[in-house]
Structure 1
Amino acid sequence: MGAGRILGAGSRWAGALLVTLTVLRTHLAHCTEPPKRFLFQFKAECQFTNGTERVRYLGHCIYNQQQFVQFDSDVGVWVGETEVGRRWAEHWNKDPAEMDYRRSGVDRFCRHNYRVDKPFTVDRRVRPKVKVSPTKLGSQPHSHLLVCSVTGFYPGGIEIQWLKNGQEQTAGVVSTELLQNGDWTFQILVMLEMSPRRGDVYTCQVEHISLRGPLTVHWEAQSDSARSKMLTGVGGFVLGLIFLVPGLLIYLKNKKGRPVPQPAGLLS
């Protein structure tokens, strides 16, 4: 893969449920005042491979941003990571009801939520919008920057290439990170530094799961003289309109005020 190809997020999808409890303590212990506020978190996580062919359920217990005990469905038991966590794990692993509940998490929690959320996440497809715009680089006379703006697509996996006259460009290609929008879509900018010559055709080519085939947007370089002629033609057309419109209005006004001629026989 060349430097001109931009890959977004991978195909693996993970869901997470985070429950946070904040507990206040005010009593004294061992003549030392404990923290008045501490944070305990339980985080349930599902990892899917090839749909629901392989599912892994993880349960994390976190105290003040430090994980101290974890359940992993691939292991099948709680595993402590600190002295306190090991005591908790030993206690929970001896509880049949607790172990049945955790071991059922793969089907009860993960596969169930996958089926419920699949139409809104896994199966969701939003086509990208692609726009190409040139930008001059400082005071350099012939150096330009082409910006390919790809916005509003979902999921995040995407491939973007720059082509010049049909040939892939890898040098001078820079991209931003994949950015999330507030509506569950993504956007990214991919830029190409180039020195265009008249007749060169630059193409931003986008491939995404929502598209049946590559989406391409072209930009063709024009010489300075061609641009000047085009601007001159546009200016002449606008100038002609400026003189034509007032004359047309005067003509119509005079025609409206002129008396209608009557047949000679009616006046005799």
Structure 2
Amino acid sequence: MPDNRERDRKDHYLPRGFLKGFIDPANKDLAKPLWHFDLETTAWSRESPGSIGWERGMYDYHPGTNVLEHPDEVFERFEREFPLVREYLLRRNFKGWVKQHKHFLLEFAQMMRARSPLFLQQQTAQNENTRIMTVTSVGPGNQVGVDTTVPYPPPARFIRNRTITAMREEIKKGPDWMENFHWCLRYTRSVADPFVTGTQPIVVEGRYPNSNDAPVLEDALNDHNTIIWFPLCWQACLVGAVDRFDEGTAEAPPSLISHVRGMFRRPSAGYVISPIKIESF
């Protein structure tokens, strides 16, 4: 059926339920409880979970498109369940997360990666570089006639719809390649020394410097230097690597937390979200 959903909405690529995990408990009743650090201006400001992490019409199909399933339906389960899982893990001090919640957390990580501005930009560029021909006739013996012998760029409708469809398909793969990594969880007890998040909530570190700015590289995913960082909230961060970790769950030393914050500080554009104002930024 045609996509009749209201267009040009505030589509949140950082769900509000996810962002609420980065609020200092002392500020939970404030209208703007989050600290926002602009990477271009290096300025701090106070924000609410609803005022950041969104773009208008980000998940809109091209007008008039027939849609079997809208991205909202793909996101809904994760957005509903993630806050519940996070609160459960916090109450249990993260005990049992591997057996009970690892699969869901990796599914959620893939969802966050696929709905991000970076992934959509990558897919759009890939689709813009596609070349097509239009079939004009099918004759005897399945002989196909085409409109040209020189392939040409696809129309804007194709590019837009294929990009959104690719996002949905990526999410439906579940953990996919992330299952090939070993995962641990590192946590902090002090909001004065927190994990943070940002425009791109999952960062990749390794010897392939462009792996976070291009489609996932097969080489990077098999390299023993590659590390994936995904803060779940200010208290905890999932860490993925090719090699097995000595400890599955452990308190993070200040040096590791500082290092992770530095990874989110690395890009030249975008922002970082924190429960506190970090003076060292």
Q: TM-score, length-normalised on structure 2?
A: 0.19
Higher relative contact order (CA 8 A, sep 6+): 2
Rg bigger for which structure?
Answer: 1
Q: Which has the higher strand share?
A: 1
